[in-house]
Amino acid sequence: MTLGKPHADLFYCLETSLHRPEVRRSPQQTAGLLADEFVEFAKSGRVYNKEVTIDALANEGSSGSSMVPQVADFFVTALSNDVVLVRYRSVRAAPDGHKTFETLRSSIWKSNLGRWQMVFHQGTPIPHE
C-alpha cells in the first residue's frame, strides 16, 4: 500500500538527508541513518556495506559527486508495519551544466527500536539515448 502524505514526507526527509553534503561528511549522522546490516548496490555495480559507505561519504570532499541531486517521482510503499520501500528518480547536473545524469533509486527503510534506518539502497543509471 502506498502511504499517505505525512508518512511520505517523513521518508522524503530521511532519504534526501543522505544527499546533503553536511550529513554525508558526518560519520555520526550517516551511521544513525544506516542500519548495521546496510547494503548498497551502487550505480557503479559495486556492493558496499555500512562501514565502507560511511568512509566513502565522509571522504567525498567537494567533488562533483557531492552535488545535491534533484528528486522526482518519489513513492513510498509499506511492505509491513515496520518496513517501507522508497522509489524515486534522481537528477544530477554535470559540473559544466550541459548534461544531466539520471538514476533510478530504491531504498528499504526498517524501524529499529522506533528509529527508521536504511537497510538497502540501489542506484541504476538511466541511459541517455
Number of domains into which the chain is organized: 1
Query: Residue 3: its pLDDT value, please?
Result: 58
CATH number, domain of 14, equals: 3.10.450.50
Query: Residue 94: its pLDDT value, please?
Result: 74
Q: List helix spans (H) across 1-129.
A: 5-17, 21-24, 27-33, 50-58
**Residues belonging to the chain:** 129
pTM above 0.75? yes
- Beta strands at 34-41 and 70-80: parallel, antiparallel or unpaired: unpaired
Instruction: Identify the domain containing residue 10 by its residue range.
Output: 5-125
Q: Is-contact 119 37, C-beta < 8 A?
A: yes
Residue-level pLDDT, tens digit, the chain, 129 residues: 555 565 899 999 999 999 999 999 999 999 999 999 999 998 888 999 999 999 999 988 655 455 788 999 999 999 998 999 999 999 988 777 777 889 999 999 999 988 999 999 999 999 876
